[in-house]
Amino acid sequence: MTGRLRAPTGRYGGKTAEQRQAERRGRFLAAALRLFGDVPGYRGTTVASLSETAGLSTRQFYEEFRTLEDVLAALHLQVNDWAEEAVLAAFAAARDMPLLDRVTAIFRAYAADVTSDPCRIRITFVEIVGVSPRLEEQRLARRARWVDLICAEASAAAARGEAAPRDYRLAATAFIGSVNGLLHDWSAGWVDATLDEVVDELVRQLLGILRPPGWTPEPS
């Protein structure tokens, strides 16, 4: 299959072609979240089984995607977008809070979103890994966006005198690895703790990065 089939154009059932296409694409992604994020997983799913779960035909699949890898790529971006939206909303709501409260609110929002459905965690931390060079590049690019977000918040905190002034990129990259690993292990049942305890541990780690021993906040 060298390219997608052309989708029908025009209005049908009160919906435009673009609306019908968006609806079909959403149904394929919802089905992929169920299949890729649970049993049988991405590697055990076929175009036929995905189409059946979505309640659509394989022809309709090829109108939207070229391969199952394209579906996984789109789903990975969607799951990350959901988490990013939750975090940005928490940023906005917590903007005027003290640093500890602000960081806690942000991580609670992130953890609540990514753990709201075990399938989301599996897509983000398991199924996407090692599929192809293309998806590895996408995975690392999305991780870099989270690093950028932490660096931006850390730099803003440093400018306000709440955190030590430094280049945070290396520390933020290491911290994101801790976030991903701990949340994955918690969701898999390998960590004997509540989600609140997991978030509290991540907050302590980040505060240790922002406020290293020997540094004190500037008086406000």
Per-residue pLDDT tens for 97-142? 999 999 999 999 999 999 899 999 999 889 999 999 999 999 999 9
Per-residue pLDDT tens for 178-187? 998 999 899 8
Burial per residue of 102-119, b for 16 or more beta-carbon CB atoms within 10 angstroms, e otherwise? bbbbbbbbbbebbbebeb
pLDDT at residue 14, rounded to an integer: 63
* Separation between Cα atoms, residue 86 and residue 110, nearest integer Å: 6
Taking a C-beta distance cutoff of 8 angstroms, is the pair 17, 11 a contact? yes
* Separation between Cα atoms, residue 28 and residue 124, nearest integer Å: 18
Burial group, residue 124, by CB count within 10 angstroms (0-12, 13-18, 19+):
buried
pLDDT at residue 5, rounded to an integer: 54
Taking a C-beta distance cutoff of 8 angstroms, is the pair 183, 198 a contact? yes
pLDDT at residue 2, rounded to an integer: 43
Alpha-helical (H) ranges within 94-115 are 99-114
Per-residue pLDDT of the chain (220 residues; tens, 9 = 90+): 445 555 555 555 567 878 888 999 999 999 999 999 999 999 999 999 999 999 999 999 999 999 999 999 999 999 999 999 999 999 999 988 999 999 999 999 999 999 899 999 999 889 999 999 999 999 999 999 999 999 999 999 999 999 999 999 999 999 999 998 999 899 889 999 999 999 999 999 999 999 998 888 776 6
* Separation between Cα atoms, residue 210 and residue 157, nearest integer Å: 8
Helix axes 47-54, 17-36, angle to 10 degrees: 110
Omega before 8 within 30 of 0, i.e. cis:
no
pLDDT at residue 7, rounded to an integer: 53
Cβ contacts of 119 within 8 Å, gap of 6 or more = 33, 34, 36, 37, 38
Backbone angles phi and psi of 204, in degrees to 5: -60, -40
Backbone angles phi and psi of 12, in degrees to 5: -145, 130
pLDDT at residue 38, rounded to an integer: 93
Cβ contacts of 31 within 8 Å, gap of 6 or more = 50, 51, 53, 54
Neighbours of 185 (CB within 10 A): 14
